[in-house]
């Protein structure tokens, strides 16, 4: 029996991984979660709950995150996967604590929300990658994000999985299969969120939903090489983006494409600091003048104290640099290294981590009269990034990103899925501009309107809606997640009281 539970836990985690992009198997997620819940409800031991949860977490995160170690070796990849799996182990403990409560199906889903919140918050600012919500970009369930954001979408998948597990148990358990109320309740839990999503889907805005419309271009200049040293030829990367922008200018002059109101370059499109390097400044100015529009330039800026900021600068032709967004949520072990003197003992790559510092601001920039919300690369994984932008007036969203450091892996598709969920969450068109791909233009309903292939220079030009109406998710902000977490804590305390009472 124990062997079957071990296999079931690992299989549940792996099937959950299989539901994530680039595979269009989003519908597997509730069934994978149901399989894990089935295992967890097979006994009362908290130690067993942790073990089975941990195995499911490893079955999920180990295949999900190999891009972390593609150029730095297996140790960082496996360490991050194991650390993330600990939170699924914690879920296993909490699930067994609340399993004896009435309506346990609901409480198990809320303690999943609690552990997802914890993993997305601690340590080092958290690691939200792999939240249940981010596997739903191709499915109609993504509509739930417009109601309560990514946390509510994750809860919806968890509740559906819990309902499926409870329904199967009610049908096969000899003691309860004749209890119509139990079967009906389990069925209701299994179908509630899909029904809500189906209804909500009809209300999602599309490309024809704007208060007004603008034409936006995204440039993918590509890079001379992949890996950690992609930017060793920093000038070549800048030149690639300038060159592709000049090609766009020629297409505009020939009438092949519409003239854009604004052009978006990727993160790291100018790792030559254009505020300190006149040659880089001149190149960007010429490109902006040629295309006749301001360019959002992803640049690495060197501060006087030797630190750096990962910035997006609005470059207004001959007028030069204007407003900028300095990346506020920076990546630990990449853009900076916490506890540097400690971690350098474990990897020769530790000292290659950057010395970036977080920026400030409200997450928006203004270009050509357009309020644009910016989340640079890693920031898109965090709820608060674009939520702050939209609350501060953003009518269009941009995610400039650099995936060249992760080679030909699933990372770029996983991140694209996050951007699609964010578009639904806030009801805004969203532009992903990537150095090496995949760049994409996303509708406010999360559909990909156009995308580029990997590793080739490309440009996309499209007329996009600007919207000012807020979704319920934007209006509520963190309230749904905090509410679910509070319920999860209350259910855990009630479950602990009940276990102590039965033990006495």
Question: Could you tell me which of 406, 404, 412, 397 has the C-alpha nearest to residue 451?
Answer: 412
Catalytic residue among 267, 335, 388, 481: 267
The strand pairing partners of 309, in sequence order, are 301
**What is the spatial distance between Cα 157 and Cα 398, in angstroms, rounded to a whole number?**
27
Active site residue 377: yes
Active site residue 259: no
Give the sign of the dihedral formed by CA 141, CA 144, CA 149, CA 152: negative
**What is the spatial distance between Cα 114 and Cα 159, in angstroms, rounded to a whole number?**
13
Q: Are 429 and 464 in contact (CB under 8 A)?
A: yes
Give, in degrees to the nearest 5, the angle at Cα 270 between 264 and 274: 105
341, two tokens: 């003197």
Active site residue 379: no
430, two tokens: 């969203």
- Taking the CB of residue 334, how many other CB atoms lie within 10 A of it? 18
**What is the spatial distance between Cα 241 and Cα 233, in angstroms, rounded to a whole number?**
13
**What is the spatial distance between Cα 205 and Cα 226, in angstroms, rounded to a whole number?**
37
Residue 352 neighbours by CB under 8 Å, 6+ apart: 228
Q: Are 363 and 385 in contact (CB under 8 A)?
A: yes
Catalytic residue among 116, 162, 283, 377: 377
**What is the spatial distance between Cα 326 and Cα 152, in angstroms, rounded to a whole number?**
29
For 16, what's the count of Cα atoms within 13 Å in the CB-facing half-sphere?
Answer: 32
Give the sign of the dihedral formed by CA 439, CA 18, CA 132, CA 444: positive
Q: How do strand 262-264 and strand 212-220 relate by DSSP bridges?
A: parallel
Catalytic residue among 162, 327, 387, 410: 327
Q: How do strand 212-220 and strand 308-315 relate by DSSP bridges?
A: unpaired
Helix 74-98 vs helix 46-64: crossing angle, to nearest 10: 140
**Would you please indicate which residues are annotated as catalytic (active-site) residues?**
267, 327, 377
């Amino acid at each position: 029996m124990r062997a079957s539970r071990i296999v079931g836990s690992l299989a549940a985690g792996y099937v959950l991984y299989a539901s994530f992009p680039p595979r269009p198997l989003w519908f597997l997620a509730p069934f994978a979660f149901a399989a894990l819940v089935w295992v967890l409800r097979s006994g009362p031991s908290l130690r067993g709950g942790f073990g089975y949860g941990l195995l499911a977490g490893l079955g999920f995160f180990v295949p999900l995150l190999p891009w972390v170690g593609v150029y730095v070796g297996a140790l960082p990849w496996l360490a991050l996967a194991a650390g993330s799996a600990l939170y699924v182990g914690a879920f296993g403990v909490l699930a067994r604590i609340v399993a004896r409560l009435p309506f346990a199906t609901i409480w198990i889903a809320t303690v999943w929300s609690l552990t997802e919140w914890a993993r997305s918050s601690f340590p080092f600012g958290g690691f939200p990658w792999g939240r249940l919500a981010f596997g739903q970009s191709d499915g109609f369930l993504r509509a739930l994000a417009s109601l309560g954001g990514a946390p509510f979408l994750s809860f919806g998948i968890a509740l559906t999985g819990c309902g499926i597990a409870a329904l199967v148990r009610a049908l096969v358990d000899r003691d309860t299969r004749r209890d119509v109320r139990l079967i009906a309740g389990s069925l209701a839990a299994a179908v509630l969120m899909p029904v809500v999503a189906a209804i909500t889907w009809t209300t999602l805005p599309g490309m024809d939903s704007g208060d007004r419309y603008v034409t936006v271009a995204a440039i993918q200049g590509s890079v001379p090489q992949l890996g950690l040293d992609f930017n060793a030829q920093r000038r070549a990367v800048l030149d690639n983006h300038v060159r592709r922008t000049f090609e766009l200018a020629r297409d505009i002059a020939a009438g092949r494409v519409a003239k854009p109101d604004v052009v978006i370059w990727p993160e790291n499109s100018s790792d030559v600091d254009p505020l300190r390097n006149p040659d880089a400044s001149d190149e960007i100015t010429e490109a902006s003048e040629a295309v006749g529009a301001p360019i959002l330039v992803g640049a690495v800026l060197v501060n006087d104290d030797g630190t750096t900021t990962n910035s997006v600068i609005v470059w207004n032709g001959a007028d030069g640099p204007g407003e900028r967004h300095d990346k506020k949520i920076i990546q630990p072990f990449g853009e900076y290294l916490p506890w540097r003197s400690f971690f350098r003992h474990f990897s020769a790559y530790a000292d290659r981590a950057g010395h970036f510092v977080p920026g400030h601001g409200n997450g928006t920039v203004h270009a050509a009269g357009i309020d644009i919300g910016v989340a640079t690369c890693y920031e898109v994984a965090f709820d608060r990034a674009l939520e702050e932008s939209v609350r501060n007036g953003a009518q269009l969203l941009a995610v400039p990103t650099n995936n060249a450091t992760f080679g030909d892996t699933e990372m770029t598709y996983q991140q694209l899925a996050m951007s699609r969920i964010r578009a639904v969450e806030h009801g805004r068109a969203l532009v992903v501009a990537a150095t090496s791909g995949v760049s994409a233009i996303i509708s406010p309903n999360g559909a990909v309107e156009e995308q580029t292939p990997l590793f080739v220079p490309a440009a996309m030009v499209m007329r996009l809606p600007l919207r000012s109406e807020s979704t319920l998710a934007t209006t509520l902000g963190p309230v749904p997640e905090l509410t679910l977490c509070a319920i999860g804590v209350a259910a855990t305390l009630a479950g602990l009281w009940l276990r102590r009472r039965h033990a006495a």
